[in-house]
Amino acid sequence: MVFDKPGGRIAEAEAMADDVQPTEIKSFYKKTLPQLGWRPAGPDYFIRERESLRIAVREEDSGRVVHFTVLPLP
């Protein structure tokens, strides 16, 4: 889901990860996101220009769900 507003965009997405551990998922994004311009700003939290990105991994019966949230910075 994506919303554009005058202060920036709001976007949320989810992905499934069956045979991957949460630490592997977080490690992948920690290595990959800086190549796309995102700077680490805390655990599972990144910033780029005027946006923030938060990544959350949760367990479900069907596997792990990775949730991404992009919000404008205040």
Average pLDDT, the chain: 91
Residues 43-59 have pLDDT tens digits of 999 999 999 999 999 99
Instruction: Tell me if 45 is assigned to some domain.
Output: yes
Q: Is residue 39 part of a domain?
A: yes
Residue 4 lies in a domain: no
Cα–Cα distance for residue pair 70/15, rounded to 1 Å: 15
pLDDT of residue 18: 84
The count of domains in the chain is 1
Mean pLDDT calculated for residue range 68-72:
95
20 belongs to a structural domain: yes
Range of the domain at 34: 10-68
pLDDT at position 63 is 86
In a domain, 22, yes or no: yes
- Whole-angstrom Cα distance, residue 44 to residue 52? 11
Whether the Cβ atoms of residue 69 and residue 62 lie closer than 8 Å to each other: no
Give CA–CA dist 12/35, Å, rounded.
21
Q: What pTM did the predictor assign? A: 0.86
Q: What is the pLDDT of residue 55?
A: 97
Contacts of 40 (CB under 8 A, 6+ apart): 30, 33, 34, 46
Residue 24 domain-assigned (yes or no): yes
